């Protein structure tokens, strides 16, 4: 543990008992074929399956047999290379290692993914946030990796040319806060440390035991996502509000989830095309330039910025 940054580095030796921490009641809204295949592959391999955010697309057309060896053969026949470590499986198109110009071609031969868990507020904890012990964070990470949908992650084309190995981290940032009576909410952001896609992961601690409740569709959170809790609908239970800037958009993106996992800001017309998002796996549909208006202790209005031509 790095005490100054409040980071816990975790390595698991997964066995066929990996899904002893799998929870059948976890909610996965916005599921598509990619999500369903990856959840199945995760159970087959018995460890987290991370994937490159580029074609070929992985979906239910890929057979998901009970045997890891048969699954590897199936993936390779579809042009997908499989890199397996003690505690992860990484899937990437084989074409990324051949053809094209030299600068964009992958030259690495070995991959390492490190899973870490951190407090959301490493530098200064929010007044309403409650501390989690190292043991609690480690246990929550294990449960999340066994139950949450995977996230896309891409390695650099060239890194550590001496031993042809690339390394990357996937972090789970946690914030424990009291949102409802008789339970402690644990809100997490799961994803690569860079500006790649992430998921909200929500769970609750009741009688000292953590239960993961749901994960969100993918979020392209850009840099420095801002998390807050606001009672938007005036029912006395704060919602989870996340804002961020992405790409060249001049206004912030906004998504709001309630504690049951409903994406309250998702419009009916959303076509799941998010600027900058690689279209692999279901995505959330943020509002851009939206603000919350109204009294702090009452129902809020969501005002959406609209460009005029």
Residue 140 has pLDDT above 80, yes or no: yes
Q: Does residue 30 have a pLDDT over 60?
A: yes
Mean pLDDT for 237-264 is 86
Question: Could you tell me which of 120, 115, 66, 65 has the C-alpha nearest to residue 89?
Answer: 115
Bridge-partner residues for 198, per DSSP? 191, 219
Residue 122, pLDDT score: 59
Q: Are strands 129-130 and 110-119 parallel, antiparallel or unpaired?
A: unpaired
pLDDT, residue 10, reads: 47
Position 1 pLDDT exceeds 50:
no
Give percent of the chain above pLDDT 70.
Answer: 73
What is the pLDDT of the chain when averaged over all its residues?
80
Is 275 or 108 the better-scoring residue by pLDDT? 108
Angle CA 249–149–147, to nearest 5: 140
Cα-based distances in Å from 49 to 6, 46, 113, 152: 26, 9, 11, 10
Contact 144, 136 (CB under 8 A): no
13 has pLDDT over 50:
no
- Where are the strands (E) in 239-300, listed by range? 239-245, 253-257, 287-288, 291-293
Reported as a single tens digit per residue, the pLDDT across 156-205 is: 766 555 668 888 899 999 999 999 888 899 999 999 876 678 999 999 99
pLDDT at 212: 97
Residue 183 or residue 223, greater confidence: 183
**% of the chain surpassing 90 pLDDT:** 37
Answer whether 47's CB lies under 8 Å from 91's CB: no
| Alpha-carbon span 183 to 170, nearest angstrom | 27
Residue 44 has pLDDT above 80, yes or no: yes
Could you tell me the residue ranges of all domains in the chain? Answer: 7-303
């Amino acid at each position: 543990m790095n005490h100054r940054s409040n980071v816990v580095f975790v390595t698991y030796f997964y066995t066929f008992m990996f899904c002893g921490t799998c929870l059948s009641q976890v909610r996965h809204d916005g599921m598509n074929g990619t999500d369903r295949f990856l959840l199945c592959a995760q159970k087959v391999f018995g460890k987290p399956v991370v994937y490159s955010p580029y074609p070929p697309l992985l979906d239910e057309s890929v057979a998901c047999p009970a045997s890891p060896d048969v699954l590897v053969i199936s993936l390779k026949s579809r042009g997908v290379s499989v890199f397996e470590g003690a505690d992860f499986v990484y899937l990437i198109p084989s074409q990324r290692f051949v053809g094209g110009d030299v600068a964009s071609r992958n030259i690495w031969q070995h991959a390492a993914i490190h899973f870490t868990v951190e407090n959301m507020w490493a530098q200064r904890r929010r007044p309403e946030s409650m501390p989690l012990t190292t043991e609690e964070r480690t246990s929550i990470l294990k449960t999340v990796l066994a139950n949450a949908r995977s996230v896309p992650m891409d390695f650099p084309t060239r890194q550590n040319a001496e031993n042809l190995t690339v390394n990357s981290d996937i972090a789970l940032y946690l914030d424990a806060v009291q949102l409802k009576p008789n339970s402690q909410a644990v809100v997490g952001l799961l994803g690569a440390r860079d500006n790649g896609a992430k998921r909200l992961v929500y769970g609750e601690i009741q009688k000292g035991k953590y239960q993961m409740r749901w994960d969100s569709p993918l979020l392209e959170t850009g840099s420095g996502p801002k998390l807050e809790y606001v009672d938007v609908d005036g029912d006395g239970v704060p919602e989870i509000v996340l804002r961020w800037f992405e790409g060249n958009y001049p206004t912030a993106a906004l998504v709001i989830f309630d504690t049951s996992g409903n994406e309250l800001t998702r419009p009916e017309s959303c076509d799941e095309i998010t600027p900058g998002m690689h279209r692999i796996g279901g995505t959330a549909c943020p509002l851009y330039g939206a603000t919350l208006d109204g009294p702090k202790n009452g129902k809020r209005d969501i005002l959406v910025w609209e460009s005029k031509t």
